[in-house]
Amino acid sequence: MNTSNIKAEVEKNIEKLVGLRDEVKVRLHLASLDAKQEWDDKIAPHVLDAETAAKNLTDASVSKVEDAIDKVQRFLGKLH
């Protein structure tokens, strides 16, 4: 994958990740303490790592962002 393709993919996925993160924050206001702790301890660090990795624009950063999206989506599924 060339750099411009990686950049486009990372930007698209970061935008999705940010939206998911914001949705989680809203739902956490209504969630249990266990759910809040799981977010703080297990999911939020992956989001931060992905946002940091996205700046590198490598295939690994694309993978890291996609992994974080998956984790956040699964966590959101538990909050429904």
User: Any idea where the domains of the chain sit in the sequence?
Assistant: 3-79
Q: Strand, coil or helix: what is 12?
A: helix
Tens of pLDDT, residue by residue over 42-63, are: 999 999 999 999 988 888 999 9
For the entire predicted model, the pTM comes to 0.80
Of 6, 16, 23, whose CA–CA distance to 63 is shortest? Answer: 6
Burial of 4: CB neighbours in 10 Å, binned 0-12, 13-18, 19+? exposed
Per-residue model confidence as pLDDT tens digits over 33-47? 889 999 999 999 999
* Burial zone of 75 (CB within 10 Å; 0-12 exposed, 13-18 middle, 19+ buried): buried
Both structure tokens of 77? 């599924």
Read off the tokens for 41. Answer: 């301890």
